[in-house]
Amino acid sequence: MKAAIIGTSGHIDLALGVRDRLPQLKFVGIAPGSPDEDAREFYIEQMEPSLIPYYNDYRAMLDTEKPDLAVVAPFFFLQSRIACECLARGIAVFLEKPMAVSFEQLERLQRTHAQGKAALCPMLPYRYHPEFYAAWRAVKDGLIGEPLLITAQKSYKLGSRHPMYTHRATYGGTIPWVAIHAIDWVHWFTDGRVLEVSASHATAGNRGHGEMESSGLCFYRLANSGAASVSCDYFRPGAAPTHGEDRLRVAGEKGVVEVGAGEARLCTHAEARSLPKEEPRAIFVEFVRHILEGAPMRITAEEAFAVSELALKSREAADTKTAVRVRG
Amino acid sequence: MKAAIIGTSGHIDLALGVRDRLPQLKFVGIAPGSPDEDAREFYIEQMEPSLIPYYNDYRAMLDTEKPDLAVVAPFFFLQSRIACECLARGIAVFLEKPMAVSFEQLERLQRTHAQGKAALCPMLPYRYHPEFYAAWRAVKDGLIGEPLLITAQKSYKLGSRHPMYTHRATYGGTIPWVAIHAIDWVHWFTDGRVLEVSASHATAGNRGHGEMESSGLCFYRLANSGAASVSCDYFRPGAAPTHGEDRLRVAGEKGVVEVGAGEARLCTHAEARSLPKEEPRAIFVEFVRHILEGAPMRITAEEAFAVSELALKSREAADTKTAVRVRG
């Protein structure tokens, strides 16, 4: 099975980092998603010893190498377009989130995927993070009762980011880029039963990053009468021990599940304990297994579309300062 | 200085618990706020050895004892009415939150207080909690920059609650009763610069407590382009170590302040550290000093009105599922 890399602006390490565990997979080429992307620098620093050929033009690479799978992480506004090209050629796509930065892009991606030529998986790996899966499992097993109150946080260090981030047109926004992981948690834990979103985002304090929002907050009404909130920010301070900090709390009548610092904890009326974690699984490895063996994914393409749509609706709610209906 | 107690349904321990520190204050009587309140049981269990007289009728007590100060904590829907009676008599009032359970009640209380006959202080003690004050001080000192993203949590154990809680008409709602403390934090940390609120609350999982909401979530747009969220719930599980769990996170360009488990922590680009805490101060002691010596309060009556109004608007937003304008 042959894989190619298109673009190096996203988390392609989700694929490259597990190469050793995929002897059935051979990387056959790398190319930028657009001429202005610094893919060659990444190639020289990290990939040249692998003897993978570098292409200036990903279409030439696809024509020549005929990969079965593409790892697609260009400038964010090009994600959906390049994914569509790959899918139309019958090439499976491991696609950086948010997969699309507009509803039109997302619809086109859905239509192209619906032709059924190739599989699609988003770089939304949290369902394979052992602590998040343990928390989800506890909720699905009914240990907290109906999940009625969900609060989640995504916080990153800002650092100095590529100019691509500083324009809405190329970046897409911080809610679709950062909050989307926590939006995936909300979607996942509620089986997608979200009715409406209100949201806010702001560029204040973004330290010269133009249109890039430095913080955001999303408020969701759930079909079960409960509610969820998702905060995202680039305010994680330099002195913090890790680059990012994820937090999730899911509360119900029977108990509370919390995820933080790589652990999941359950507290009920009877007990408080850490939840046992499965062995770590890599979403890219699962996707390759899915392609080769038909193994089911924890996040399907359909769910990825729904999560991406929810992220875009959340951004719309923030842009318009109006509640946006999520379901019919 | 003479003090009387009217009603025992709220946190009168905020006053009774610091009696030893107030030699200038003498409790002269205790009475229920209404005939159906179990104040006599409380009296027999906790107050009888104090030799304070018990009255069946608080008006008779006020006529006879002529207190300078009343600690008012009746069934919640009676708070504002009794406070108005006391203020009109020139009696200072230490009043259980939310002080009023309707906008009409709140307006009447404001009008009565505006006559200037006596002082009013709400049982909103967090500005005197050393860890919250340390966090607020850090923000006011500019250590995190402009506070752009605030997330807060109030979580209580449910237990079995008095029938008064099970009716909106007598209880007022969980947002005004529980979330109001965190709403006070938002108001305090932002200098009241809140523009709009959206909110949700639900009775699901309230274990037979009728109309009492078991959870709620409020979303605030701030004037500085930032946002805040407040969650409240009665879902704290039986196995949790404490009755309640308060959390606050305030993030800005320069750093993050967090409060939890009785501590305040600051993380900036230069350092991560616990914030030093002042000696604990009791809001009731401060209020007595305010009455006797004119010492300033950290929460004025005007701020208490604003916080109560914000809580009622948050409840309205949850009831109507519509965003409610807060200012102008």
Chain B, residues 215-234, CB within 8 A of chain A, namely: 215-217, 219, 221, 224-229, 231, 233
A132 touches A259 (CB < 8 A): yes
Tens of pLDDT, residues A95-152:
999 999 999 999 999 999 999 999 999 999 999 999 999 999 999 999 999 999 999 9
- Closest CA–CA distance from residue A194 to any residue of chain B (Å): 13
Size of interface A-B (CB pairs under 8 A): 169
Question: In Å, how far from its chain's centre is CA B277?
Answer: 21
B237 to chain A, any CB pair closer than 8 A? The answer is yes
- Torsion angle, alpha carbons of B43, B47, B53, B56, to 10: -10
Q: Which of B212, B230, B233 to mutate to test the interface with A (most CBs of A within 10 A)?
A: B233
Question: Torsions phi, psi of B69, nearest 5?
Answer: -145, 140
Contact B268 A146 (CB under 8 A): no
- Closest CA–CA distance from residue A142 to any residue of chain B (Å): 13
A6 touches A74 (CB < 8 A): yes
Task: Return d(Cα B231, Cα B241) in angstroms, integer.
Answer: 20
Task: Return d(Cα B73, Cα B32) in angstroms, integer.
Answer: 9
B195 to chain A, any CB pair closer than 8 A? The answer is no
Say if residue A32 is preceded by a cis peptide, omega within 30 of 0. no
Tokens of A260: 């933080």
Tell me the average pLDDT across B217-227: 98
Contact B148 A205 (CB under 8 A): yes
Tell me the average pLDDT across B150-172: 96
A155 to chain B, any CB pair closer than 8 A? The answer is yes
Tokens of B62: 């006020």
Tens of pLDDT, residues B66-92:
999 999 999 999 999 999 999 999 999
Closest chain A residue to the Cα of B197, Cα to Cα: A198
Closest chain A residue to the Cα of B206, Cα to Cα: A253
What pLDDT does residue B46 have? 87
Asked if pLDDT for residue B321 goes beyond 80, the answer is: yes
User: Of B225, B241, B254, which has the smallest distance from its Cβ to A202's Cβ?
Assistant: B225
- Closest CA–CA distance from residue A48 to any residue of chain B (Å): 35
User: Of A233, A238, A268, which has the smallest distance from its Cβ to B237's Cβ?
Assistant: A268
Mean pLDDT of chain A: 97
Tens of pLDDT, residues A162-210:
999 999 999 999 999 999 999 999 999 999 999 999 999 999 999 999 9
Annotate A248-283 with b (16+ C-beta within 10 A) or e (fewer): bbbbbbbbbbbbeeeebbbbbeeeeeebebeeebbb
**Residue where the block lists tokens 């509370």:** A256
Tell me the average pLDDT across B217-243: 97
Tell me the average pLDDT across B225-250: 96
Closest chain B residue to the Cα of A201, Cα to Cα: B226
Tell me the average pLDDT across B53-64: 97
Q: Which of B217, B245, B254 to mutate to test the interface with A (most CBs of A within 10 A)?
A: B217
User: Of A205, A240, A249, which has the smallest distance from its Cβ to B252's Cβ?
Assistant: A205
What pLDDT does residue A48 have? 84
**Residue where the block lists tokens 């020549």:** A64
| Largest interatomic CA distance in chain B | 62
Collect all residues of chain B within an 8 Å Cβ-Cβ radius of residue A211.
none
Contact B205 A240 (CB under 8 A): no
Tell me the average pLDDT across A246-267: 98
Task: Return d(Cα B164, Cα B281) in angstroms, integer.
Answer: 31
Tokens of B84: 């108005």
Tens of pLDDT, residues B245-286:
999 999 999 999 999 999 999 999 999 999 999 999 999 999
Closest chain B residue to the Cα of A226, Cα to Cα: B202
Chain A, residues 242-281, CB within 8 A of chain B, namely: 249, 251-256, 267-272
Q: What is the helix (H) or strand (E) element at residue A131, kind and residue range?
A: helix A130-140
Contact A204 B148 (CB under 8 A): yes
**Residue where the block lists tokens 């406070």:** B83
Sign of dihedral through CA atoms A36, A38, A44, A48? negative
Cβ-in-10-Å burial (0-12, 13-18, 19+) of B200 comes to buried
B308 touches B101 (CB < 8 A): no
Asked if pLDDT for residue B328 goes beyond 80, the answer is: no
Task: Return d(Cα A316, Cα A218) in angstroms, integer.
Answer: 11
Task: Return d(Cα A20, Cα A114) in angstroms, integer.
Answer: 32
What pLDDT does residue A50 have? 85
What pLDDT does residue A3 have? 98
Asked if pLDDT for residue A47 goes beyond 90, the answer is: no
Closest chain A residue to the Cα of B224, Cα to Cα: A204
Contact A239 B145 (CB under 8 A): no
